[in-house]
Amino acid sequence: MDLPERPHPFLNRRAFLGHSATALSGMALAQLLGRDGLLAAGVSTKTPLRPRIDPANPNAVRQPHFAPRAQQVLMIFCAGACSQVDTFDYKPELIRRHGQPMPGGDKLVTFQGAQGALNRSPWEFRPRGQCGKMISDLVPRLGSLADEMCFVHSLTGKTNTHGPGENFMNTGFTLDGFPSIGAWTSYALGSANDNLPAFVAIPDPRGAPQSSGNCWNPGFLPAAFQGTDFNATKPLRNLSRPEGLSTSEDHATREFIARINQHHLEAYPGDSELAARISSYELAARMQLSVPEVCDLSTEPEHVRRLYGADASGDKTQDIKAAYARNCILARRLIEQGVRFVQLFNGAYQVGGEGTSNWDGHKVLKDQYTVHGEVLDQPTAALLIDLKQRGLLENTLVVWCTEFGRMPTFQAGASGRDHNPAGFTGWLAGAGVKAPYSYGATDDFGYKAVEKVATVYDFHATILHVLGLDHERLTFYHNGIERRLTDVHGEVLTEILT
C-alpha cells in the first residue's frame, strides 16, 4: 500500500522564512558579541592588525596595538639545551633519590636511548638574593640577581631534536622557513634608530647555532625584517671604503647614487620592490658609519670591561668567555642605540664536537658544563647589571631561553643528560614582568611540567604582549593563511605581568 506523499518539513514557505529569520538574527548576535569580546573562550573573532609598511622606509616606527610595557627586547639564547636541573630548577627529591631509578621511567627511551638512574646536579644549590631563590653554583653571579628575575619553570616544547627545537623557540614552528620572533617584532614596530637594523642577531664567537639563520630569518615576511647577524669578533663584512677612496669622494659618490636612485624611482612610481631595494642599499650605506662605531669597544672604560670579564688572558676557557663578554657589551650598546630586538647567542653548533661548544651535555656533563657555566655566568650577569645601572631595563624586556631541557637521569652508560622537552625553564627580567617571581613547576625530579604548564606559544604571546602587541591580531597573509608567530595557539601568562 502506497503511503500518502508528505511535503518535506523544511521546504514549505513558513518554515523557510522562520529559519531564515533565526539564522540572520543569530549572525547579527554573533557579530555583536564578537565586537565586544563576549563570545565563548576558544572562538576567536579578532580581526587581523597587519602593519602598513612603507617600502621606502620599512623600519619606520609603528604604533603598538595597546600601551606597551617595554620598547625593546634582548633575547639571550643558550644553544644546545641548557639543563634546568643544573641551573635554576631546584629539586630536593632528586638529591634525596640520587642513584635510584626514576619512578615510572624504567622503560623510558628518550632521544639517544635508554635512561639510567636519577642523578643530582654536580653543583650545589644555594639561596640567592633577598628572595632566597635556590640557584646552582654553576651560575653564581646570575644567581645573585635572582631578585631581578621572573622564572617560568613549566615550559614545554614539541620536539627533542636540536634544529627543530631551536626553530620552535625562535619562530614558533619546528620546520624551517618561518619568521623569527625578532622579525615579527621589527615587522610590527619598526625601529627608533635609522642608522642600524631594527633586529640584530649576535652569534656566539665560536659559530652559529644548529639551525643557524633560521633563528633570525624573516621567513615569508619582507626581507627587510631579517635579523642582521654580526658580533664583536666579526663585524659586518665590506664596511670599509675601498683603498684609495677619500672620505670626501666616498660622500660625493653616495650623494650621486642617491640622486640617480631618486630619479629612477620617480620614473617608476608605485614600484614597492624598487623602493624597498633602494631603502636597503641606503641603510647599508649608513651602517658603514654606524656599525664600526657601535662595535668599537675600545671606548669602553676599564671598569666596564672588568665587570664583564672582556679581556683575554691566554687561558682557553677565559678567552672564550672574554669573546662572549664582548658580545654582551655589544648587545648593551645596541640596546642603548635603540635597536628594537637584539638576539644574543651563547653556544654554537660544532660538527663532531659534541658538547665542546654548546650546552648539549650527553656524555660528560660535569666537564662540559664547567666550561659553559664559566663562559655564560659573569658576562650575562654583568649585562643585566649594566642595563639596570644605565636605566635601560626600564624599557627593555630581557629574555633567557633554550630550545628544551634535559633529563633528571643520566643516560645509560654515560655521565650526561638526554634531551627533554617535557619541562624546562626560561626567565625574564626588566620591563613588564614581576620580579622576583616564579611561575609553574616541574615534578619532584624536574622531568615533566605539572603545575601551570606553559607552552612556547604562551611564552611568545607574553613577550609580544609586553611590547603592546596582540599575538592573535599580529598577522601576515601568506598562501591563503593569516599567519601568526603563535600559529593558532598561545595564551598570555598574565600572572607574571606587572
Tell me, what's the pLDDT at 271?
67
The CATH number of the domain where 77 resides is what?
3.40.720
Tell me, what's the pLDDT at 276?
60
The answer as to whether 282 is a domain residue is: no
Q: What is the pLDDT of residues 430-449, one digit of tens each?
A: 999 999 999 999 999 999 99
Q: Say if CB 176 and CB 219 are below 8 A apart.
A: no
Tell me, what's the pLDDT at 37?
44
The answer as to whether 222 is a domain residue is: yes
pLDDT bucket at 32, cuts 50 / 70 / 90 = low
Identify the H or E element spanning 34: helix 13-35
pLDDT bucket at 43, cuts 50 / 70 / 90 = very low
pLDDT bucket at 252, cuts 50 / 70 / 90 = confident
Tell me, what's the pLDDT at 256?
75
Q: Say if CB 433 and CB 397 are below 8 A apart.
A: yes
Tell me, what's the pLDDT at 313?
85
Q: What is the pLDDT of residues 461-473, one digit of tens each?
A: 999 999 999 999 9
Higher per-residue pLDDT: 104 or 257:
104
Average pLDDT for 40-67:
83
The answer as to whether 248 is a domain residue is: no
Q: Say if CB 199 and CB 226 are below 8 A apart.
A: yes
Nearest-angstrom CA–CA distance, 334 and 329:
9
Grid cell of 459 as nine digits:
611564552
Q: Write the CB contacts of 271 (distance below 8 Å, at least 6 apart in sequence).
A: 265
pLDDT bucket at 107, cuts 50 / 70 / 90 = confident
Mean pLDDT, the chain, whole residue set: 89
Tell me, what's the pLDDT at 135?
98
The answer as to whether 18 is a domain residue is: no
Q: What are phi and psi of 189, to 5 degrees?
A: -120, -15
CA dihedral sign, ordered 230, 83, 464, 391: negative
Find residue 149's DSSP bridge partners.
429
Q: What is the pLDDT of residues 197-239, one digit of tens each?
A: 999 999 999 999 999 999 999 999 998 999 999 999 888 766 6
pLDDT bucket at 243, cuts 50 / 70 / 90 = confident
Tell me, what's the pLDDT at 364?
94
- As a whole-number percent, the residues of the chain with pLDDT over 90 amount to 72
Tell me, what's the pLDDT at 218?
95
Tell me, what's the pLDDT at 41?
42
Identify the H or E element spanning 430: strand 424-430
The answer as to whether 26 is a domain residue is: no
Whether the upstream peptide bond of residue 436 has omega within 30° of 0, thus cis, is yes
Q: What is the pLDDT of residues 466-498, one digit of tens each?
A: 999 999 999 999 999 999 999 999 999 999 999
Identify the H or E element spanning 384: helix 365-389
- The answer, yes or no, to whether residue 385 has pLDDT greater than 50, is yes
pLDDT bucket at 48, cuts 50 / 70 / 90 = very high
Nearest-angstrom CA–CA distance, 156 and 422:
5
Q: What is the pLDDT of residues 296-326, one digit of tens each?
A: 999 999 999 999 999 988 899 999 999 999 9
Nearest-angstrom CA–CA distance, 494 and 354:
38
Average pLDDT for 118-136:
98
Higher per-residue pLDDT: 375 or 284:
375
Grid cell of 384 as nine digits:
643585566
Of 134, 113, 79, 77, the C-alpha closest to 446 is 134
Residue 92: other Cβ atoms inside 10 A: 11
Tell me, what's the pLDDT at 121?
98
Tell me, what's the pLDDT at 5?
52
- As a whole-number percent, the residues of the chain with pLDDT over 70 amount to 85
Q: What is the pLDDT of residues 338-376, one digit of tens each?
A: 999 999 999 998 755 555 689 999 989 999 999 999 999
Domain count for the chain, please give it: 1
- The answer, yes or no, to whether residue 272 has pLDDT greater than 70, is no
Domain housing 153 = 72-232+301-496
The answer as to whether 243 is a domain residue is: no
The answer as to whether 101 is a domain residue is: yes
Q: Label residue 133 left, alpha or beta by phi (over 0 means left) and psi (-120 to 50 means alpha).
A: beta
Tell me, what's the pLDDT at 11?
53
Average pLDDT for 269-294:
73
The answer as to whether 21 is a domain residue is: no
- The answer, yes or no, to whether residue 177 has pLDDT greater than 50, is yes
- The answer, yes or no, to whether residue 113 has pLDDT greater than 70, is yes
Lowest mean pLDDT among 9-18, 93-102, 189-198, 271-280: 9-18
Identify the H or E element spanning 320: helix 316-336
Identify the H or E element spanning 151: strand 149-156
Tell me, what's the pLDDT at 257?
72
String of b and e for 50-77 (b: at least 16 CB within 10 Å)?
ebebebebbbbebebbeebbbbbbbbbb
